[in-house]
Chain A
Amino acid sequence: WGRGLGVTGRGRAAMEAVESRELRVGFVGAGRMAAGLARGLLRAGRVPASNILASAPSDKNLDAWRESGCRTTHCNLEVLQDTTLVFLATKPHILPGVLQEIRPAVGPHHIVVSMAAGVSLQTLQRLLPAGTKVLRMMPNLPCVVQAGAMVFARGSTAGDGEAALLKNLLSSCGLCEEVPESYINIHTGLSGSGVAYVYLFAEALAEGAVKMGMPIGLASRIAAQTLLGAAKMMLETGEHPAKLRGDVCTPGGTTIHALHQLEKGALRATVMNAVEAATNRACDVAKD
């Protein structure tokens, strides 16, 4: 199957490594995003914990990794020496310095995937040895529970093989799509930050129920399940959300009355504003 995807020899080898669970995966930086992704991969059973190595300056974040069975180190170079697929998961402003540090250990067999918001492929390629296979991805937190939404873009030297490998691996954590680099900031506004919008909405739903007399615990669980169910219907039926919305609205019924309230509050525009604001902020941060 490797040939059909236009995969190079090395790419195919890497793919086979994934399939046979021999791929060694590294994380430079061990914060929330990295941990979420790693936990997702582990839960999906794609990568044995012993094949994961994470580095961080202090033990603060690394304890949780060790508890999962992953290996840890304080040495970034060690990650490069020990693994093939390397996720760069440091804070964006630290990344340039880290890249300088690990540069000597980066080789043609590596696949480097940056998760750092705002650091462009151009910058990454400039700071790494020429020809390094570089990709850039943006996950979101629900990768932890295999319900993430991830996008990635490939650098000029990353080929179909690397893209296929990454997509194959990350799909175990949720939805994973390759995109042009310009979509990455939009993904941040839509889904990276979007998860928070959903939490806000869920909280408000529950509070509405509490106001009407339901206990908060029950209300929260039902709110979450409602969101989950609605999302699942969207994904499984592929139908337009407007159509699905109409399906719920009995003439003169409860739903249409409630929707009218939401429209009065210009919810749609507010949500659009939110996505726009987060996307713009991602772009601004990138420029710094």
Chain B
Amino acid sequence: MSVGFIGAGQLAFALARGFTAAGILAAHKITASSPDTDLPTVSGLRKMGVNFTVSNKDTVKSSDVLFLAVKPPIIPFILEEVGPDIEPRHIVVSCAAGVTISSIEKKLSTFCPTPKVIRCMTNTPVIVREGATVYATGTHADVEDGKLLEQLMASVGFCTEVEEDLIDAVTGLSGSGPAYAFTALDALADGGVKMGLPRRLAVRLGAQALLGAAKMLLESEQHPGQLKDNVCSPGGATIHALHFLESGGFRSLLINAVEASCIRTRELQHVADQEKISPAAIKKTLLDKVKMESPSLSSKVSLFTNKSPSSKKN
């Protein structure tokens, strides 16, 4: 089985690294493509032994499982470009946040009557084989296709099938989750440094503390609240510290974060669904513009609104 990645950024790199480290796939069975050869991940992929090309079509031709590992706004362009090369054997796996199965199937249906589409949401720790992945199968994807993807993703962490309508919430939780953890770890390390620890040691200990706690929870039948209680001796250091966290609304901040990420994902999906492709949009120059532009909350500037192709927003 060969695997291809359209896109050679963080996600492709992380997955390729994970698959090869897990031994489930040899590097030479992996192809990745991107028009942008300057990405730092490109050299990383090459060093791994992955086949790198600037031609998305080449990637499609040499893959059975095709990961769409590009940013959500680019998905429609990619589908337009590689659609003609999609064959019945291909399993198209989209990892793009907020992009629905139906939007992908709709795009591909102009080229292929029964495209096998699977939508998945994973996260960067696949790189160390501790990813969290969910997937939902599309209309024409069989049970075996789902199981195949599950086997691949299970080699790099936890993987389970879900209903598609849960995927945005998963994005908010475990998709973005590593970023919350990195932020927490940075701050914990600051705390350690403030109280006298050297930075490197502080980072190492903070990370290990979170790793250990997560492992305990995963291996325990107990509720995290119970595990927390087990650490808090009456009148001791930990309960004093927890009181500070509660005073700062720690829990609600985390709830807010998951909610915000989930809502933003839905917004992006909504933006993407409104897109209108112009043939010129496939040019690299426009791709650059798309890359540089990050849709913001306040200014819903979009290439995908119902405007005439000639008026290009910047």
Contact B223 A246 (CB under 8 A): yes
Contact B226 A242 (CB under 8 A): yes
User: How large, as a class, is the contact surface on chain A?
Assistant: 10 to 19
The residues in B between 219 and 246 inclusive whose CB is less than 8 angstroms from any CB of A are 222-226, 229, 243, 246
Q: What separation, in Å, do the CA atoms of A263 and B249 have in the docked complex? A: 6
Q: Does B251 contact A (CB under 8 A)?
A: yes
Shortest CB distance A109–B (Å): 37
Residues of A near B229 (CB, < 8 A) are 240
With most chain B CB atoms within 10 A of its CB, the pick from A240, A241, A243, A276 is A240
With most chain A CB atoms within 10 A of its CB, the pick from B226, B229, B259 is B226
Q: Does A211 contact B (CB under 8 A)?
A: no
Q: Does B247 contact A (CB under 8 A)?
A: yes
In the complex, the chain A residue whose C-beta lies closest to that of B229 is A240
Contact A264 B249 (CB under 8 A): yes
User: How large, as a class, is the contact surface on chain B?
Assistant: 10 to 19
Q: What separation, in Å, do the CA atoms of A97 and B251 have in the docked complex? A: 51
Q: Does A60 contact B (CB under 8 A)?
A: no
CB-CB under 8 A for A242 and B224, given A266-B247, A272-B246? yes
If over half of B's interface residues share one DSSP class (helix, strand or loop), that class is named, otherwise mixed; here it is: helix
CB-CB under 8 A for A260 and B223, given A266-B247, A272-B246? no
Contact A242 B223 (CB under 8 A): yes
Contact A263 B247 (CB under 8 A): no
Q: Does A212 contact B (CB under 8 A)?
A: no
Contact B225 A243 (CB under 8 A): yes
Q: Does B301 contact A (CB under 8 A)?
A: no
Q: Could you say which of A242, A246, A268 contacts B246, with CB atoms under 8 Å apart?
A: A268
Q: Does A269 contact B (CB under 8 A)?
A: yes
What 1/0 mask marks residues of chain A from 259 to 278 whose CB sits below 8 Å from any chain B CB? Answer: 01001111011001100100
Shortest CB distance A264–B (Å): 4
What 1/0 mask marks residues of chain B from 244 to 280 whose CB sits below 8 Å from any chain A CB? Answer: 0011110110011001000000000000000000000
Residues of B near A240 (CB, < 8 A) are 222-223, 225-226, 229
Contact B226 A243 (CB under 8 A): yes
Contact B226 A264 (CB under 8 A): no
Contact A263 B255 (CB under 8 A): yes
Contact A269 B223 (CB under 8 A): no
In the complex, the chain A residue whose C-beta lies closest to that of B243 is A272
Q: What separation, in Å, do the CA atoms of A276 and B234 have in the docked complex? A: 13
Q: What separation, in Å, do the CA atoms of A256 and B276 have in the docked complex? A: 38
Give the number of A-B contacts (CB < 8 Å): 42
Shortest CB distance A108–B (Å): 36
Q: What separation, in Å, do the CA atoms of A273 and B259 have in the docked complex? A: 28
Shortest CB distance A120–B (Å): 19
Residues of B near A241 (CB, < 8 A) are 225
Contact B223 A263 (CB under 8 A): no
In the complex, the chain B residue whose C-beta lies closest to that of A241 is B225
Q: What separation, in Å, do the CA atoms of A272 and B232 have in the docked complex? A: 14
Contact A269 B252 (CB under 8 A): no
CB-CB under 8 A for A269 and B226, given A263-B255, A264-B252? no
What 1/0 mask marks residues of chain A from 228 to 250 whose CB sits below 8 Å from any chain B CB? Answer: 00000000000011110010000
Q: Could you say which of A266, A273, A276 contacts B252, with CB atoms under 8 Å apart?
A: A266
Shortest CB distance B238–A (Å): 13
Shortest CB distance A263–B (Å): 4
Q: What separation, in Å, do the CA atoms of A265 and B229 have in the docked complex? A: 22
Q: What separation, in Å, do the CA atoms of A60 and B259 have in the docked complex? A: 59
Contact B223 A243 (CB under 8 A): yes
Residues of B near A243 (CB, < 8 A) are 223, 225-226
In the complex, the chain A residue whose C-beta lies closest to that of B259 is A260
Shortest CB distance A47–B (Å): 34
Q: What separation, in Å, do the CA atoms of A241 and B225 have in the docked complex? A: 8
Residues of B near A246 (CB, < 8 A) are 223
Residues of A near B224 (CB, < 8 A) are 242
Shortest CB distance B157–A (Å): 22
Shortest CB distance B20–A (Å): 36
Q: What separation, in Å, do the CA atoms of A242 and B248 have in the docked complex? A: 20
Contact A242 B225 (CB under 8 A): yes
Q: What separation, in Å, do the CA atoms of A241 and B252 have in the docked complex? A: 18
Shortest CB distance B248–A (Å): 8
In the complex, the chain B residue whose C-beta lies closest to that of A244 is B223
Contact A260 B252 (CB under 8 A): yes
Q: Closest 5 CB pairs between A and B? A: A242-B225, A269-B246, A263-B252, A269-B247, A264-B252
A-B residue pairs in contact (CB < 8 Å), sample of 27: A242-B223, A242-B224, A242-B225, A242-B226, A243-B223, A243-B225, A243-B226, A260-B252, A263-B252, A263-B255, A264-B249, A264-B252, A265-B249, A266-B246, A266-B247, A266-B248, A266-B249, A266-B252, A268-B246, A268-B251, A269-B243, A269-B246, A269-B247, A269-B248, A269-B249, A272-B243, A276-B243
Known: A242-B223, A269-B243, A269-B248. 14 other contacts (CB 8 A): A242-B224, A242-B226, A243-B226, A263-B252, A263-B255, A265-B249, A266-B246, A266-B247, A266-B249, A266-B252, A268-B246, A269-B246, A269-B247, A272-B246
Q: Which residues of A are in contact with B by a Cβ distance under 8 Å?
A: 240-243, 246, 260, 263-266, 268-269, 272-273, 276
